[in-house]
Amino acid sequence: MTQKFSHRVSNGALPETGFVRLPTILKIYPISRSAWWQGVRDGRLPKSVHLGPKTTAWRVEDIRALIDAQAK
């Protein structure tokens, strides 16, 4: 994961607070689904939150922090 972001995420791309699901993250973070899950397992990407038995999401704050760190 040595990619650098050449643009900032627009304010409308993510909600201010709450949770986001993986399809939303993949639209704004340049990574494949399998690479994302590998990064979560390795601890390089934020841990998921289970909202239900078959519902996984991530805290918006964690995703914003990840994007900000990559943009630098």
Nearest alpha carbon to residue 29 among 18, 41, 15, 14: 14
Residues 21-35 pLDDT 10s: 999 999 999 999 999
| More confident position, 36 or 8 | 36
The phi, psi pair for 30, rounded to 5°, reads: -75, 85
Nearest alpha carbon to residue 7 among 31, 30, 36: 30
pTM: 0.80
> What is the percentage of the chain residues whose pLDDT exceeds 90?
74
Which contacts (CB < 8 Å, 24+ apart) does range 27-30 have? Answer: 28/67, 29/63, 29/66, 29/67, 30/3, 30/5
Residues 35-57 pLDDT 10s: 999 999 999 999 999 999 999 99
